[in-house]
Amino acid sequence: MQLEGKSAVVTGSSSGIGRAAALALANAGADVVVNGNSKMEAAEEVAHEIEQLGRKSIAVKADVSNSEDVDLLITAAVETLGKVDVLFTNAGVFHMGMIEDHTPEMWLQTLNVNLTGQFLTCQRVVPEMKKLGKGKIVNNGSIFGHQGVMGCVAYGVSKMGVHGMTRCMAAELSPHKINVNAVAPGCIMTDMTDDFFVVMGNGDTDAGIKEVTKSYPIGRLGQPDDIGNAVVYLASDVSDFMTGQIMFVDGGYTVP
Q: What is the pLDDT of residues 62-117, one digit of tens each?
A: 999 999 999 999 999 999 999 999 999 999 999 888 899 999 999 999 999 999 99
**Annotated active-site residue in 155, 216, 233, 253:** 155
Q: What is the DSSP string of the chain?
A: ---TT-EEEETT-SSHHHHHHHHHHHHTT-EEEEEESS-HHHHHHHHHHHHHTT--EEEEE--TTSHHHHHHHHHHHHHHHS---EEEE-------B-GGG--HHHHHHHHIIIIIHHHHHHHHHHHHHHHHT-EEEEEE--GGGTS--TTBHHHHHHHHHHHHHHHHHHHHHGGGTEEEEEEEE-SB-SGGGHHHHHHHTTT-HHHHHHHHHTT-TTSS-B-HHHHHHHHHHHHSGGGTT--S-EEEESTTTT--
Mean pLDDT, the chain, rounded, equals 95
pLDDT at 1: 60
Structural domains in the chain, sorted by start: 7-95+105-186+223-249 (3.40.50.720), 187-221 (no CATH)
| Mean pLDDT across 199-215 | 87
Single pTM value for the model: 0.95
**In the structure, what pLDDT confidence band is assigned to residue 178 with cuts at 50, 70 and 90?**
very high
Please indicate whether residue 95 or residue 200 has the higher confidence score (pLDDT): 95
pLDDT at 18: 98
Contact assessment for residue 36 and residue 61, using Cβ atoms and an 8 Å cutoff: yes
Q: What is the pLDDT of residues 113-169, one digit of tens each?
A: 999 999 999 999 999 999 999 999 999 999 999 988 888 899 999 999 999 999 999
Determine whether 253 is an active site residue: no
